[in-house]
A and B are shown apart, each in its own frame.
Chain A
Amino acid sequence: MTDRSIELEVLRYNPETDSEPYWQRYSVPHHHEWVVLDALNHIKENIDPTLNYRWSCHMAVCGSCGMMINGSPKLACKSFMRDYENLIRVEPLAHFPIERDLVTGMDDFVSKLARVKPYLIPKQDKPVEEGEYRQTPAELKRYKQYSMCINCMICYSACPEYGLIPKFLGPAAITLAHRYNLDSRDGGREQRQEEVASGEGVWECTFVGACSEACPKHVDPAGALQQVKIASTIDWFKEQLSSWLK
């Protein structure tokens, strides 16, 4: 049921014609069950087919529709219109370059993700005939929360340190490194630490905590990063100690 209409202000940018982004206002009907993504789809289908944005699953799984909604990084598919006033401002995710309208450049994030080797690196390879790498429920529980990340980049938009220090590896990449480090089947921590414990890694984090507040999947990257700091600190002192004892 449409009970009222809502004004949606969208930040537009066309690299072929615009020197900088500008706000464009659209009137959309309000439905109780609509999320902001439904409103964008309504605009695209009925008002302005030139509007660009990413989306796919409409159910907070694919991580494509991250955008700033009234200044906070959110998944458009998880943000109900009914939770907002009559004017909703929608911008591309903060801290990322705007490619076109609500579409941002992901290259920096993707390359950082690759640097931390977010995949299982078994302690020793074994032939398939020897069977699977087994894991107890407790061992699974140890890292499960950190495996819920959908790479939506919302934590990077929430993190002021990433905005101020673009070379910072950032919340999601370090959290994923932590996820694999905690995995009983994994032996790749030493390799990941080369990036994670470097000057561009976890030490740029000052525990603002905004990433965890913004994360739509409750991954709690801020918690992961503090655990990584503690573990890296213990490593460092152990390394010093063992080099003195030699």
Chain B
Amino acid sequence: MAKVNSKPYQREISNTRWYWRNETYMRYIARELTCVFIGIYTVVLLVGIWRLSQGQVAYETFLQALRSPMSIVFHLVALAFSVYHSVTWFNLTPKALPIQIGEQFVADRVIIGAHYLGWAVVSVVFIFLAGVF
């Protein structure tokens, strides 16, 4: 291919602020940041298991610590981020795992709907097992 000229102009991209360019990038960054809250929450669970292994007194101290205002605020924020993770994950599933039956592909909303249904069932089972009702 013939070169149009020998002085093409290369535009700079900011390594640290590129995602401010549009809403899609911002939503992506929000989705990726869910890992921070899910990660920290998993460490909370890990601490819970640790305290459980140390006996009743230790575990009840852990339950007491959960009641701090900081913990409540963290739970609310983490809940919002983890729900965002679930929604984005399930909504993208049909792209990653399309199902073709005969000539037709199963509609995205069917695959997404099945995941939401599964999510609801898992949630109800956990709530039931935990003895909430």
Contact = CB atoms under 8 A, between A and B. Distances in A.
Direct contact of A and B (CB under 8 A): yes
B95 A137 contact: no
A187 interface: no
5 contacts: A16-B5, A141-B105, A164-B15, A210-B22, A226-B96
Contacts, number: 85
Interface string B4-46: 1111111101010011011011001000100000000000000
Residue in B94, B95, B103 with the greatest tally of chain A CB atoms within 10 Å: B95
Contacts of A208: 24-25, 28
B97 interface: yes
Interface residues of B, number: 30
A105 B103 contact: no
Given A71-B22, A160-B21, 13 more contacts: A97-B8, A97-B9, A99-B5, A105-B8, A141-B105, A142-B100, A158-B24, A160-B19, A160-B25, A164-B13, A222-B95, A223-B96, A230-B97
Contacts of B18: 160, 163-164
A207 B92 contact: yes
A138 B102 contact: yes
A26 to B, nearest CB: 21
A15 B92 contact: no
Given A208-B28, A227-B96, A138 B103 contact: yes
Interface residues of A, number: 40
B129 interface: no
Given A226-B96, A227-B98, A100 B13 contact: no
Interface in A191-214: 206-210, 212-213
B95 A220 contact: yes
Contact of A209 (B21, B28, B104): B28
A72 interface: yes
Contacts of A164: 13, 15, 18
Given A71-B21, A226-B95, A227-B98, A97 B28 contact: no
B132 interface: no
